[in-house]
Chain A
């Protein structure tokens, strides 16, 4: 662990929420095994936002899908609070990159209420919580609209609110702002940081943007090109001012880590 930030209060505790141990994960294509994630180990601590950073195709989504229970490790383990993530479940709510992840036939509010109802919350409580998270994500004016009437940024906000309303042990996010324009993107990064601080939710966030990793995260797990391994864990907690020299140092440090990876990423591959 390389510490760059000045000493500060840790937002979370040191309790591990999600743990990946020597995971090897891959795909079978036409009967042939292809390893995407070579040998990866890292921890996501309770209350923290952990960023998975690495070049495109290094297996970040593969790791996230394994944590979500859609894929299974060939070797090693992926556990949440000690339990293997063998099948999908709302304790690991996922926010995808795609804007079309909302149920188009449900209003914004129903997109929040329905998943809670599936998980046994009574109507009044589900509705109350939905309204609470709509408020938190600045969605109240859009509550009765259908998803196709929303902008991309709003859709991603709804997806985040829907996931949070499920009270997940860990919120899994796969480049949720990757398809947004720069301005909306930085606004949502700010909002997410704020909401994570207010709710204390544990987050595993996949990105290929160094800037996003430093700004949004508390810890950055840097992955190599596939079959990927962990290059380093970088502590970036408390860094939220791009003008802060420590912020710039973190950017430089991460950029150097990725550049020294065996296959040089093409110039401009990282922001």
Chain B
């Protein structure tokens, strides 16, 4: 009896290591909820506002459609394969171009790390070509390769190669000299030193280079498809959107846009997961 009394009347329980801090339900604030539910709730609210606004305002359905119509357009697009095919076409070109861009970046940064001439070359090329909006060379690429997927691949590869090269070579240059000295001390040299010490040291920069490269490439390919309507044999996502506009199929225009946004979000999540498993786990990059 007395024991429970003391426990209950104790106004401030002494903090105990490992105990969970809980707030009474009525004091719960928005910021106390976990990120997932918070964001989901916000998305649901935004969709609801959008749907209600469309229905209440009676806006011309050729101009704006509600999320319900967009969702059904997406379902149709997946069912008849048109949206899936367009997405795959775009992704295939983008991935091919990224692979080429990464390979060229690897050669350039290796040269830049090993020779002064290579370093000068990289600095010069990046300072000239990186500021150029990648889409600007599309006319030239079409002139050279015609209205083909090759033209697009060249444009996208050019868009991704510079941000990746800049970041990776910066990662190599800023590798911790003590760790590199330890690498040499334990007997590493040449390619093995690059692979086992310099490359992991440069990983935080490499990942942010890939992120930027991907973002550049993704924007550029959609823009290229929108403007010129080409994406090789079949049409890509940009073409899908433009084509839908032409036939006034507004729900499909929205469906294409939402697909683009969703893929962007998915890739961002993938990069975040990669960072969490590597550079964040190893304390090589601060949690942001």
Interface residues of A (CB under 8 A from B): 68, 70, 88-90, 92-94, 96, 98, 100-105, 114-115, 118-119, 146-149, 166
Question: Which secondary structure dominates chain B's binding surface?
Answer: helix
Q: In the complex, how many angstroms separate the beta carbon of A32 from the nearest chain B beta carbon?
A: 21
- B185 to A146, Cβ gap below 8 A? no
Is A96 a contact partner of B283 (Cβ separation < 8 A)? no
Complex contact A89–B282 (CB within 8 A): no
Q: In the complex, what distance in Å separates the CA atom of A29 from the CA atom of B176? A: 22
- With A96-B182, A103-B179, A105-B200 already in contact, the answer to whether A90 and B187 are too (CB < 8 A) is yes
Tell whether, in the assembled complex, residue B278 and residue A119 are in contact, meaning their CB atoms are under 8 Å apart: no
With contact pairs A118-B187, A119-B187, A166-B186 given, residues A101 and B179 touching in the complex (Cβ less than 8 Å):
yes
Q: Looking at the assembled complex, report how far the CB atom of B188 sits from the nearest CB atom of chain A, in whole angstroms.
A: 6
B185–A90 touching, CB < 8 Å: yes
Interface of B with A (CB < 8 Å)? 176, 178-179, 181-182, 184-188, 192, 196-197, 200, 203, 278, 281-284
CA distance A105 to B186 in the complex (A): 16
5 A-B residue pairings within 8 Å (CB atoms):
A96-B181, A103-B179, A104-B282, A104-B283, A148-B282
Q: Known A-B contacts: A96-B178, A103-B200, A105-B282. Give 11 more (CB < 8 A).
A: A70-B181, A88-B181, A94-B181, A96-B182, A100-B178, A101-B179, A104-B284, A105-B200, A105-B203, A118-B186, A147-B283
How long is the Cα–Cα vector from A101 to B182 in the complex, in angstroms? 7
Residue of A at shortest CB range from B203? A105
Which of B181, B196, B200, B278 counts the most A-chain CB atoms under 10 A from its CB?
B181
Residues of A within 8 A of B181 (CB): 70, 88, 94, 96
Residues of the B chain whose Cβ atoms lie less than 8 Å from the Cβ of A89: 185, 187
Residue of B nearest to A99 (CB): B178
Given contacts A100-B176, A105-B200, A119-B187, whether A146 and B282 have CB atoms under 8 Å apart is yes
